[in-house]
């Protein structure tokens, strides 16, 4: 009996989580997420899947984040007609997140097409529409934690709380008769693993004694200082007081689900205690507003020490759901707090606030989560002096703070401990959902100390492995690669072009006079057309 896995996403990159299992009974997916980052990676969202969606019998969804769920409407539109198994928390969040993603894609494409028409370029279509996303919700079926479910003939699954997000799960999969001597082949998909001292979620849980573990590695090489809820809140208070002293706004690009609610809980608590000056907290994200309501509904499943329902109804909070309400925030000056999506600054209303404030010295931008390669958030973290937002050049003089203490991901030591607790692991560990240095860092942590180094694998996008052999066997030549391996991990020409335009503008602005500027322009023209 053969069981293979193909790594259709989140391989040498963080986003696009998608894993295809092939068994004698048919094909099964774990996750089907959007790629984020460089335009080269994001272009994969528009292309064909590396499989026929009509051949997929079932999808197992680890959690609601868009890099894990965001291509499900496209999968269904392209022919998938099976079930999507997910926890109730995940289903409730997806009921808002997927239609929101479709709406964003429609609005982003409409804006792009207006520019394309003006430039004489062809129009494009969205990956899927809001209507597609709404239609996809009928395919979801709820599962309970720690309860076996038959996914398809010969395959049963069990979901475990991953401690990452409301409804998040690690998924235990058993393939009947595919293990040694006819025993089941046991595989554990980590999903995203939550860190210690997560504000709203319990510690992650999962079984031991497996053939394979497919584990995320987002923060594989990172050792965070020991953190508690109290120290995290104290560090946030320092940033809020600094923003207040600068008499400017605290602008927080935040993931709409979980990160936003955690920040709200702590900000409201700090204001109620008098630890920071009170201020309006603008929650400028329709999705985050709806997700906050889901958190209220699931308050009993969250940290019992926090009155989540009360805090999320605080008078300090101001929900700005409509576009006019969002635009009205721009009238505020001085100290106030804005929380808006997206967390990597790639879409949504946060870009309008960044255009308003990035060039002002009294503003503070607090980046509260992982910033993928090629995203606007990553450029800010890396110290860019200017960025391009919606085609406009914006100088960066605001104070940029990378504040990782609200991360929803375990760091390197926590991941290593989580993997160690899964032993014995008979055949191998695959590291996924991480950039190249992160995967290498986690491989070094666990190699030999937890599992033999020869049993730690770092797949490349679209790699296929046979899982029923003594060690996983790569199946070369059985598939087509959508991208060259180096294109997955590197900044692309779009990023280089944006930086070049910014550098040219800087050089021309710094030139002594018009004559010097003319010399720079003539040199550029000669470089573009050496025949002149």
Q: Per residue in 188-211, pLDDT tens? A: 999 999 998 787 888 899 999 999
What mean pLDDT comes out for the span 515-523?
83
With a cut of 90, say whether residue 412 has pLDDT above it: yes
For 59, other C-beta atoms within 10 Å of its C-beta total: 25
Other C-beta atoms closer than 10 Å to the C-beta of 226 total 8
Query: What pLDDT score was predicted for residue 227?
Result: 81
Of the candidates 64, 118, 114, 112, the residue with the CA atom closest to the CA atom of residue 87: 64
The DSSP line for 115-168 is: HHHHTTPPP---SS-HHHHHHHGGGEEEE-BT--EEEETTEEEEEEE-SSSTT-
Question: Could you tell me which of 443, 435, 286, 257 has the C-alpha nearest to residue 349?
Answer: 286
Domains of the chain: 4-222+408-489 (3.60.15.10), 229-406 (3.40.50.10890), 493-528 (no CATH)
Residue 315, judged by CB atoms within 10 A of its CB (0-12, 13-18, 19+), counts as exposed
Contact in structure between 380 and 369 (CB atoms under 8 Å): no
Percentage of residues in the chain having pLDDT higher than 90:
65
pLDDT of 332 strictly over 90: yes
Over residues 308-334, the mean pLDDT reads: 89
Cα distances from 492 to residues 41, 379, 465, 483, 527, in angstroms, run 9, 14, 28, 12, 21
pLDDT value of position 114: 87
Q: Examine the pLDDT at 444 and tell me if it is beyond 90.
A: yes
Q: Which of 167-171, 384-388, 491-495 has the lowest mean pLDDT?
A: 491-495
Give the ranges where 246-284 is alpha helix by DSSP (H).
259-273
3 state SS of 513:
coil
Confidence at residue 113, expressed as pLDDT on a 0 to 100 scale: 86
Residues facing 175 on adjacent strands = 155, 185
CA proximity to 425, closest of 475, 471, 473: 471
Tell me which residue of 299, 241, 310, 249 sits closest to 270, measured CA to CA.
Answer: 241
Residues 6+ apart with CB under 8 A from 308: 200, 261, 265, 295, 296, 299, 302
**Residue 502: pLDDT above 80?**
no
Between the CA of residue 53 and those of 57, 82, 151, 465, what are the distances in Å? 9, 10, 17, 20
What 3-state class would DSSP assign to 353? helix
Q: Maximum CA pair distance of the chain? A: 81
Res 530 pLDDT > 90: no
Secondary structure class of 393 (helix, strand, coil): strand
Higher pLDDT, 299 or 365: 365
* Strand, coil or helix: 12: coil
| pLDDT (0 to 100) of residue 511 | 80
pLDDT in tens, 378-404: 999 999 999 988 878 999 999 999 988
pLDDT over 90 at 256, yes or no: no
CA distance 267 to 259: 12
- Say if residue 339's pLDDT is above 70: yes
Highest mean pLDDT (candidates 7-21, 385-399, 403-417)? 7-21
Provide mean pLDDT across the span 111-137.
Answer: 90
Strand partners, 465: 5, 474
- Asked whether the beta carbons of 491 and 374 are under 8 A apart, the reply is yes
* 3-class SS of residue 37: coil
Higher pLDDT, residue 425 or 370: 425
One DSSP character per residue, 158-221 reads EEEE-SSSTT-EEEEEEETT-SGGGPPEEEEE--PPPPTT-SSSPPP-----EEEEEEE-TTTT
Residues 6+ apart with CB under 8 A from 453: 443, 447
């Amino acid at each position: 009996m053969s069981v293979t896995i193909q790594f259709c996403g989140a391989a040498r990159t963080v986003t696009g989580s998608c894993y295809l299992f092939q068994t004698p009974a048919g094909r099964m997916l774990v996750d089907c997420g959007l790629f984020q980052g460089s335009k080269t990676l994001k272009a994969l969202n528009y292309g064909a899947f590396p499989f026929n969606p009509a051949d997929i019998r079932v999808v197992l969804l680890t959690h609601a984040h868009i890099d894990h769920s965001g291509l499900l409407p496209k999968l269904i539109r392209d022919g998938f007609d099976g079930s999507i198994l997910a926890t109730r928390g995940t289903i409730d969040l997806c009921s808002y997140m997927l239609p929101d993603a479709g709406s964003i894609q429609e609005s982003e494409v409409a804006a792009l097409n207006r520019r394309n028409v003006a430039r004489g370029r062809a129009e494009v279509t969205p990956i899927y529409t809001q209507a597609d996303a709404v239609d996809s919700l009928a395919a979801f079926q709820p599962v309970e934690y720690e309860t076996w479910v038959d996914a398809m003939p010969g395959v049963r699954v069990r979901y475990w709380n991953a401690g990452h997000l409301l409804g998040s799960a690690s998924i235990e999969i058993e393939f009947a008769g595919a293990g040694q001597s006819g025993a089941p082949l046991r595989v554990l998909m980590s999903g995203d693993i939550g860190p210690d001292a997560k504000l709203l979620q319990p510690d992650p849980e999962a079984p031991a004694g497996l053939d394979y573990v497919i584990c995320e590695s987002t923060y594989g090489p990172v050792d965070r200082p020991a953190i508690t809820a109290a120290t995290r809140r104290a560090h946030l208070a320092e940033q809020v007081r600094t923003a207040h002293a600068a008499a400017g706004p605290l602008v927080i690009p935040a993931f709409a689900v979980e990160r936003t609610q955690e920040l709200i809980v702590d900000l409201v608590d700090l204001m109620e205690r008098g630890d920071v000056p009170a201020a309006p907290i603008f929650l400028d994200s329709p999705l985050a507003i709806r997700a906050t309501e889901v958190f209220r509904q699931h308050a009993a499943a969250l940290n019992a020490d926090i009155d989540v329902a009360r805090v999320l109804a605080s008078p300090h909070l101001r929900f700005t759901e409509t576009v006019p309400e969002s635009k009205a925030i721009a009238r505020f000056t001085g100290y106030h707090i804005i929380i808006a999506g997206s967390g990597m600054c790639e879409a949504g209303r946060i870009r309008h606030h960044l255009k308003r404030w990035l060039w002002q010295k009294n503003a503070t931008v607090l980046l509260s989560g992982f910033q993928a390669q090629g995203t606007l958030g990553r450029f800010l973290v890396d110290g860019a002096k200017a960025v391009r937002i919606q085609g406009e050049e914006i100088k960066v003089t605001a104070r940029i703070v990378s504040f990782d203490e609200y991360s929803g991901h375990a760091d390197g030591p926590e991941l290593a401990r989580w993997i160690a607790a899964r032993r014995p692991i008979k055949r191998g560990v695959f590291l996924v959902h991480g950039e190249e240095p992160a995967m290498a860092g986690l491989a070094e942590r666990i190699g030999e100390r937890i599992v033999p180094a020869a049993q730690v694998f770092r797949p490349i996008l679209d790699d296929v492995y046979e899982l029923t052999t003594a060690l996983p066997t790569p199946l070369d030549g059985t598939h087509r690669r959508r991208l060259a391996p180096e294109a997955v991990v590197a900044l692309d020409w779009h990023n280089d072009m944006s930086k070049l335009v910014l550098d040219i503008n800087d050089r021309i602005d710094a030139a002594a006079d018009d004559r010097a500027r003319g010399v720079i322009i003539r040199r550029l023209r000669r470089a573009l057309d050496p025949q002149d």
